[in-house]
Amino acid sequence: MSTPSIHCLKPSPLHLPSGIPGSPGRQRRHTLPANEFRCLTPEDAAGVFEIEREAFISVSGNCPLNLDEVRHFLTLCPELSLGWFVEGRLVAFIIGSLWDEERLTQESLTLHRPGGRTAHLHALAVHHSFRQQGKGSVLLWRYLQHAGGQPAVRRAVLMCEDALVPFYQRFGFHPAGPCAVVVGSLTFTEMHCSLRGHAALRRNSDR
């Protein structure tokens, strides 16, 4: 089985919609260390899981992905991940995979379907030292532009708790109803987002 190539993102202007804070690096460039956005590799798995565990266990008691699942997705589909590094340190990440059905199912939590046209976002997390700085918003917007620039990917889907629905709506996601996936006693809303507009933004930013 061939291993997918890693697609690194070249630096490009970031066009954020109104209401989403700009990257701190754009506002105070002279006081902040260099920022790097790149796809993740299996070697990043331990750092990813450390951030994920701290972010999710303290809130819900569950991690979207265990360490083996993180490595699994970063091996099969690294191009559907994105990490934000500050001076070489991972501070925020998104992990995704491809899905080939209209709605998410319990299987979608652990499967990558190479023929799918939907990017399923499994987890977005920010290191506790870098929260309340708008990094989650900037990273998600970058990720949607990145995913939308891949010809096979037509839309993005995720599941979230009701309190987070307004956050994701700011990025073009819309509620598709209750998600069929249940984790313990937790229930979720399924959110869908067309990537056509994000792909156009990515093309324009590359010019």
Catalytic amino acids?
97, 111, 122, 124, 168
Cβ neighbours of residue 97 closer than 8 Å, sequence gap 6 or more: 73, 76, 77, 80, 111, 112, 113, 119, 120, 122
Nearest residue to 51 (alpha-carbon basis) of 123, 120, 139 = 123
Query: How far apart are alpha carbons 73 and 48 in whole angstroms?
Result: 12
Query: How far apart are alpha carbons 56 and 188 in whole angstroms?
Result: 15
Q: How far is CA 122 from CA 16, 61, 179, in A?
A: 23, 16, 14
CB 198 within 8 A of CB 167: no
Query: How far apart are alpha carbons 154 and 147 in whole angstroms?
Result: 9
